[in-house]
Amino acid sequence: MKPVNKKLSLFVFLLLALGMAATSCNKDEDISPGDIGNPKVLYVRSTNPESADSLLAGAFMGSLIAIVGEDLGQTVELWFNDQQASLNPAYVTGRTIIVNVPSSVPTEVTNQMRFVFSNGEEMFYEFFVNVPAPELNSIKSEYVEDGDIAVLHGDFFFEPTTVTFPGGLDAEIVALDKTELQVRVPAGSEAGEITVSTNFGTAVSSFLFRDNRNVVVNFDDMRHRSWNSPVAHIELGEGRVPPCSGNYTYFEMDGVGAWQWVNELNMMYVAEDGETGRGNIPIFPGGATVSEWGVRFEINVPVEWREIPLEIFFAPFGADHGRDIPVPLTRWRPWEETGVFQTDGWVTVTVPLSEFDEDKDGNPAELTDLSQYTNLTIMYFGAADNANDIYIAIDNVRVVKM
């Protein structure tokens, strides 16, 4: 048997007793069959004993409320906006109606309670159902091509919903539930904020769609060393996975073992490279701090990845790739908790600079003076107990404030 909330039960009992007492001594007893009297609502209050003295102008979905008035006993239907409440006849008296606000989300918002009485007459009373505004927390991949599906994560996504991409373009909604939206990216979408609107408010993304700030390499017009990891040229139909934003680089090899230094498993941007480098230009803008910044990129891993990490590290101008200086690096292991990492399409990931905390030998190290770094390397390299077959696609490597 479920425990009984004695305070709540006592409060409901007193309300009902009050309603029945009022009914026995007011004009309800003189109402003839088919006559509804002169119904009115005096006020609405919570059934919670701790807040019973507070009058309500609105309540959240699912809340239990007490409607106090006169001649309410002939109420046969009660609607909040366009959603009908479930009435228990035992809790409907001339003086009070105790009812749960419907838990379903209204489509048409009138901010009215609508009483329907036994003779078909209706009465309206202003009352607000509090439905939270949408929250837009993240996107599966910040880069999605026009016409492809973007997946948005958040909360309180209720129909009808409008999703607007940068450039003022409304997206087609492919699938919707309370915490996830799948939308088709409109043709001509630009870089910037995404907006989600419902009947209950608007949310603007804290992330940027197609974030183009501080991009180091995108494998289109901003390239890495040509003799390192290969590039999938989309116009030639190359690559095992479809693009998220034009060309991308990839690490692909069967039977990769421990500490195998392979050019094709190395994405290296070197600022002094005459072929692809852009000169002595720092990667980080002035004022960037280790605690607030990170390396962000899109990644697509269609096969199971385990054991060997991605080493990520920076280097100053003129220091080639920099690993042998040495500089602080991170060994990124997205499979560490689950033992394996595999994605369903492209996802955006961020590696905080605070995780660049060891040197090449595993000794503690710390990033300092970000303004000195012009080069960036990502390579598949490290310890392993077994040989592994890999395919890791990477695009749009950038440094961002998180």
The whole-number pLDDT of residue 51 equals 72
Where do the DSSP E strands lie in 48-134? 58-60, 64-70, 75-80, 83-84, 96-100, 112-117, 122-126, 128-130
Q: How far apart are CA 284 and CA 24, in angstroms?
A: 79
Look at 224-233, 236-245, 318-327, 359-368 and tell me which has the smallest mean pLDDT: 318-327
**Res. 28 pLDDT band, cuts 50 70 90:** very low
Q: Which has the higher per-residue pLDDT, 3 or 133?
A: 133
**What is the homologous superfamily of the domain 6-130 according to CATH?**
Immunoglobulins (2.60.40.10)
pLDDT tens-digit map of 235-260: 999 999 999 999 999 999 999 999 99
- Residues 31-55 have a mean pLDDT of 84
**Res. 30 pLDDT band, cuts 50 70 90:** low
pLDDT tens-digit map of 210-229: 999 999 999 999 999 999 99
The whole-number pLDDT of residue 32 equals 56
What are the residues facing 60 on neighbouring strands?
Answer: 130
pLDDT at 35 over 90: no
Residue % of the chain over a pLDDT of 70: 91
pLDDT at 24 over 80: no
- Residues 384-389 have a mean pLDDT of 94
Burial of 358 (0-12, 13-18, 19+ CB in 10 A): middle
The whole-number pLDDT of residue 31 equals 54
Contact between 184 and 172 (Cβ < 8 Å):
yes
**What is the homologous superfamily of the domain 135-204 according to CATH?**
Immunoglobulins (2.60.40.10)
pLDDT at 29 over 50: no
Backbone dihedral angles phi then psi of residue 23, each to the nearest 5 degrees: -65, -35
Burial of 86 (0-12, 13-18, 19+ CB in 10 A): exposed
Claim: this prediction has a pTM higher than 0.85: no
Residue % of the chain over a pLDDT of 90: 85
Q: Which CATH code fits 215-401?
A: 2.60.120
Q: Which residues neighbour 263 within 8 Å (Cβ) at sequence distance 6 or greater?
A: 227, 228, 229
Contact between 264 and 230 (Cβ < 8 Å):
yes
Alpha carbon 170 to chain centroid distance? 19
Domain residues of the chain, as ranges?
Answer: 6-130, 135-204, 215-401
The phi-psi region of residue 307 (left if phi > 0; otherwise alpha if psi is between -120 and 50; otherwise beta) is left
Q: How far is CA 258 from CA 91, 306, 325, 339, 381, in A?
A: 72, 12, 22, 17, 7
Averaged pLDDT score across all residues of the chain = 91
pLDDT at 148 over 70: yes
What are the residues facing 130 on neighbouring strands?
Answer: 60
Domains 6-130 and 135-204 share a fold: yes
pLDDT tens-digit map of 193-213: 999 999 999 999 999 999 999
**Res. 321 pLDDT band, cuts 50 70 90:** low
**Res. 25 pLDDT band, cuts 50 70 90:** very low
